[in-house]
Amino acid sequence: MTDVTQIVLAKRPVGDVTPDCFREEKATLPALNDGELLIVSHYLSLDPYMRPRMSELRSYVPPFEIDRPLTGGSVGEVVESSNPKFAKGDTVIGLLNWATHTVHDGKGLRKIDPTAAPLAANLGVLGMPSFTAWYGMKHICKPKAGETAFVSAATGAVGQVAGQLAKLAGAHVVGCAGDEQKCQWAVREAGYDACFNHRTERDYGAVLDKLCPKGIDSNFENVGGKIFHAAFARMNNFGRIAFCGAISEYQDAEPLAGPPKMFAIVQRRLTIQGFIVSDHNAMLPDFVAEVGGLLKSGKLKSRETIVDGLARAPAAFMGLLKGENFGKLIVKIG
């Protein structure tokens, strides 16, 4: 019998997520059944994909359930185990509740070495967002020298890695981000050739024409909406679009129409490929080898924001959807 603090979905948002969509509550966890584990959460990853899960969308993961805890990629420690695969004291990564403790059946849970890297890094630059960036760049965008790569949400958890990988591949790399400070970090630290502020630029087409004078060969799309439309209209022949997310559209109550002139897909022989990185977990070792190596050699930088305390997760998540975070957003729980 363990007392737990957890955050449940109080109601589904329509349009913007509001504080009353969440409810913090106390609960008492039952004794473990055979095969179950009790895990104490240390870090919780907050990611844009959670927004669609709050709605009843036909999506790649089932929606969160009303009055049940939200879940998210987390690092925690096993405090009690009735599962032969895990022992008390193991550090694990996987989907845990937005909670101080989670009872888990062990499925999809992975043991990690807590001494190999800061624990939070397993949720960021060594984790799912970075794996996402690596997969999309390596297997869809395939940037190369002489080409132009465009990355929206250039300093987000995914974008910051995507942009750096494109730069390492030799491409001219252009990004966009939500404030001047992020744009400066993108250029000075992450090596982007240019990054524009999508909150102050009025004409995305004009700024892309200026920053991508040879058009766009690959687009790593995290934002969707008008930024995607402007990039789509500037794709070169045989261009590749890795469609990873559409954060600008998640809060829209009414769906936005797609870009005009879809026939450009034919005229310019474009490929648009949507992907969810968990479909490609078999490639995790390749990712760890390549990106881990880049990190060790100092060729890859990362930036994260760590928020302290589970109670602040809802506000941090609402801020994430408005672009208020800088880099990977992680909640330190305990």
- Residue whose CB is less far from its own copies, 76 or 239: 239
CB of 222 to its own copies, least distance (A): 10
State the number of binding residues for its own copies (CB under 8 A): 37
- Residue whose CB is less far from its own copies, 118 or 243: 243
Q: Is 41 exposed, middle or buried (0-12, 13-18, 19+ CB in 10 A)?
A: buried
User: Is 1 a residue that touches its own copies (CB under 8 A)?
Assistant: no
- Residue whose CB is less far from its own copies, 33 or 59: 59
The conformation of residue 176, written as its DSSP 8-state character, comes to: E
Q: Is 202 exposed, middle or buried (0-12, 13-18, 19+ CB in 10 A)?
A: exposed
User: Is 259 a residue that touches its own copies (CB under 8 A)?
Assistant: yes
User: Is 66 a residue that touches its own copies (CB under 8 A)?
Assistant: no
x-or-dash pattern for its own copies, window 267-296, by CB under 8 A?
xxxxxxxxxx--x-----------------
Quick one: which segment of 147-155, 163-171, 241-249, 310-318 binds its own copies (CB under 8 A)?
241-249
CB of 160 to its own copies, least distance (A): 19
The conformation of residue 182, written as its DSSP 8-state character, comes to: H
Distance from C-alpha of 324 to C-alpha of 334, rounded to nearest angstrom:
23
User: Is 13 a residue that touches its own copies (CB under 8 A)?
Assistant: no
- Residue whose CB is less far from its own copies, 191 or 243: 243
Please enumerate, as own/partner, the contacts of 265-273 that have beta carbons within 8 Å and a separation of 24 or more. 268/235, 268/236, 268/237, 268/238, 268/239, 269/237, 269/238, 270/235, 270/238, 270/239, 270/240, 270/241, 271/140, 271/239, 271/240, 271/241, 272/241, 272/243, 273/140, 273/240, 273/241, 273/242, 273/243
- Residue whose CB is less far from its own copies, 181 or 237: 237
Distance from C-alpha of 75 to C-alpha of 149, rounded to nearest angstrom:
33
CB of 155 to its own copies, least distance (A): 20
User: Is 156 a residue that touches its own copies (CB under 8 A)?
Assistant: no
Residues contributing to the site for its own copies (CB under 8 A): 52, 57-60, 224, 228, 237, 243-246, 249-250, 255-276, 279
